[in-house]
Amino acid sequence: MDGKGKYLVALSGGADSVALLRVLLQLGYQIEAVHCNFNLRGQESARDETFCRQLCNRHQVSLHIAHFDTRTYANLHHVSIEMAARELRYTYFEQLRNDLGFDGICVAHHQDDSLETILLNLLRGTGIHGLTGIAPKNGYILRPLLCVNHSAIISYLDNIQQDYVTDSSNLTDDVQRNKIRLNVVPQLLQITPAAIDNILKAAEHLSEAEKIITDSLEKDIKRHVVYYLQADNRADSLSVSIADIRKFASPEYYVWYLLKDFHFPAPVSQQIAENLDAPSGTIYSSSSHEALIDRGQLIVEPITPLYPELTIPETGCYRFNDEIKFNVRIDEIGKNYQLSRRPDEIHLDADKVEFPLHIRYAKEGDRFVPYGMTGSKLVSDFMTDLKMNVIEKRHQLVLTDAADKIVWIVTRRASNEVSIRETTKKVLVINIL
């Protein structure tokens, strides 16, 4: 942390966050506090908010307060109360940091929290990353107290005669983390008083080992994985040769590492890694993406919705979805009329195409006469010839006329039946905006 920077301090009113606030004030940091009231504990939640107000007033610290309907959020997003509170908290923290131009958000995680996280992740069957504990820095999230334990924090507060509030929900073993804190950790300390220090030391070793593994992975990924970026420069899809995956010392870890940012659970990643020889067209899904095995490639694509059929009754501009619009016009053909060669624009003989037109997805049994041919062909065979994968085929759009005759495989091929001839007088022009 830079002594000249400005920082937000997450203040719950509990011992850890109160100690963090007092320490940063004592060290002369420029800070403001932020308190989240999740409205989960009735009067106790109100008590915590009042305590934080009084503490900040006493020490002349600006305080930002947010109220959340956490239960409603959890129900709407189908997540646990604990996860809902976490998502609400960190989203608000980042919005506030960005709006106020602060350099970081300080939270009061300490050694005991890191130990509990390691044990929880171990029980969940985590990979090596989950056994490295809580990181001292994660983007703008800073954890200055990770070097001390909870006992040291309480001693510090006693020495400066600073009071704090206690969250009664932390005193019952009704959630996994509380069970570990209240039951497992005391048992470990009975086995050996150095249990916490030894586990955290092992986590440090694993953290260093992870750096070596990650460095090796990143170098290999840079050589072999093709990422496709969105407008915000964020990778949202990728492709990689399965043969290249197999060359890595641990293909299973390689696959997990590739898929972790696309929300694939570890068991699904493991299943994919164990079935790299699955038939082409095999698909695995996460909450946001699909992983496809296709012709010796592992391809990851975002799950995109399928939209209803679009009817085009006449010339004009029509929206198919938020990203695709079709502009339809009719041109009079002249001596020097130029036909476009762009894939997102098609020129058809207007007299051979009857309105209303329709934009829909290709379906089983669809046929058309590809430009340059005289006989019809299944659209599915046409897509296979182009080596389109299952996901691409599913989202392929076609343009049909009033008789449901396909006149354009959108962006790929026009129908020969409606193509421009020497006798064409009017041109139907359709382009994608």
The structure tokens listed for 41 are 């504990």
For 195-344, where are the E strands, in sequence order? 226-229, 235-241, 282-285, 289-294, 297-302, 310-312, 316-319, 325-332
Of the chain, the percentage scoring pLDDT greater than 70 comes to 98
pLDDT at 118: 94
Residue 218 is assigned to a structural domain of this protein: no
Q: How far apart are CA 384 and CA 390, in angstroms?
A: 9
pLDDT at 231: 61
The structure tokens listed for 115 are 């130990």
Shared domain check, 146 and 40: yes
Above 80 in pLDDT, residue 234? no
Tens of pLDDT, residue by residue over 255-275, are 999 998 899 988 899 999 999
For 24-180, where are the E strands, in sequence order? 30-37, 63-67, 104-106, 137-138, 141-142
Residue 83 is assigned to a structural domain of this protein: yes
Q: In residues, how long is the chain?
A: 433
pLDDT mean over 113-117: 93
Q: What is the domain range of residue 73?
A: 6-200
- DSSP 8-state code for residue 258: H
**Which uninterrupted H or E stretch holds 431?**
strand 426-432
pLDDT at 38: 93
Tens of pLDDT, residue by residue over 295-339, are 999 999 999 999 999 999 999 999 999 999 999 999 998 878 888
The CATH number assigned to the domain holding 324 equals 3.50.40.10
- DSSP 8-state code for residue 340: P
**How many CB atoms lie under 10 A from the CB of residue 366?**
20
Q: What is the spatial order of strands in the sheet that 345-349 belongs to? A: 316-319, 325-332, 426-432, 345-349
Tracing tokens 């920077």 back to the chain, one arrives at 5
pLDDT bucket at 396, cuts 50 / 70 / 90: very high
Shared domain check, 316 and 237: no
Residue 207 is assigned to a structural domain of this protein: no
For the entire predicted model, the pTM comes to 0.73
pLDDT at 172: 67
pLDDT mean over 5-16: 95
Shared domain check, 62 and 36: yes
Shared domain check, 236 and 141: no
Closest CA to 290 of 278, 281, 280, 300: 300
Tens of pLDDT, residue by residue over 241-258, are 999 999 999 999 999 999
pLDDT at 271: 96
**How many CB atoms lie under 10 A from the CB of residue 100?**
13
Count of domains forming the chain: 3
Shared domain check, 151 and 55: yes
pLDDT mean over 64-80: 92
Residue 205 is assigned to a structural domain of this protein: no
Closest CA to 106 of 14, 2, 25, 17: 17
Shared domain check, 91 and 186: yes
Position 240: which residue type? V
pLDDT at 171: 62
CA 349 to chain centre: 45
CA 295 to chain centre: 27
pLDDT bucket at 51, cuts 50 / 70 / 90: very high
Q: Pairing state of beta strands 282-285 and 289-294?
A: antiparallel
Above 90 in pLDDT, residue 283? yes
The CATH number assigned to the domain holding 148 equals 3.40.50.620
Query: Are the CB atoms for 352 and 335 separated by under 8 Å?
Result: no
Of the chain, the percentage scoring pLDDT greater than 90 comes to 83
Residue 211 is assigned to a structural domain of this protein: no
Q: How far apart are CA 309 and CA 359, in angstroms?
A: 6
Above 70 in pLDDT, residue 205? yes
pLDDT mean over 283-296: 95
Shared domain check, 318 and 260: no
Tens of pLDDT, residue by residue over 163-187, are 999 887 766 666 788 889 889 999 9
Last residue of a domain, one of 302, 327, 343: 302
Backbone torsions φ then ψ of 289, nearest 5 degrees: -135, 165
Shared domain check, 364 and 328: yes
Residue 230 is assigned to a structural domain of this protein: yes
Shared domain check, 125 and 14: yes
pLDDT at 334: 81
Shared domain check, 326 and 242: no
pLDDT at 347: 96
Closest CA to 154 of 35, 289, 15: 15
pLDDT bucket at 388, cuts 50 / 70 / 90: very high
Shared domain check, 384 and 247: no
pLDDT mean over 75-87: 90
pLDDT at 288: 93
For the chain, the average pLDDT equals 93
